Amino acid sequence: MDDVDRRLVNALQGGFPIAERPYAEVAKMLGLAEAEVIERLAALREAGVLSRFGPMYDAERLGGAVTLCAMAVPEERFEAVAAIVNGFPEVAHNYARAHALNMWFVLAVERPEQIAATIARIEVATGLEVLNLPKLDEYFLELKLTA
């Protein structure tokens, strides 16, 4: 990342303009051309610097549900199980952890009753137990990363 990429990423952490041409708005704010903003964001995604660029939906406010899940996956099966789990469209994030429960992922579904059914499908597909860790309370922490 160069200095312009850093300014771009830092500027977008506070939100994305709702406008007819939002990239042009960002470009104007940073003194860049609209095409450059689009090209830089695409390059950052392609390089893996940004893992995701898009809206964050509140599934629960839309009538859906989310839950955190964990699994104890044998190391020799970790990559294969990760591929299976990531193949479920309901899996929003999947992370490896240095813990007995070494795979953690978030499920996001359209209706609350789909949580149990999705977990059951993952258990059948992997042959492993999934621990469901539903949210009890929600806290908002505004985390902004600066480079």
* Model confidence pLDDT, tens digit, residues 71-96: 999 999 999 999 999 999 999 888 89
Q: Are 133 and 70 in contact (CB under 8 A)?
A: yes
Q: Tell me: pLDDT of 19 over 80.
A: yes
* Model confidence pLDDT, tens digit, residues 126-146: 999 999 999 888 777 766 666
Indicate the fold that domain 65-133 takes in CATH. Answer: Alpha-Beta Plaits (3.30.70)
| CATH 3.30.70.3460 domain residues, the chain | 65-133
Q: Is 71 exposed, middle or buried (0-12, 13-18, 19+ CB in 10 A)?
A: buried
Q: Is 54 exposed, middle or buried (0-12, 13-18, 19+ CB in 10 A)?
A: exposed
| DSSP for residue 75 | G
Give the pTM: 0.67
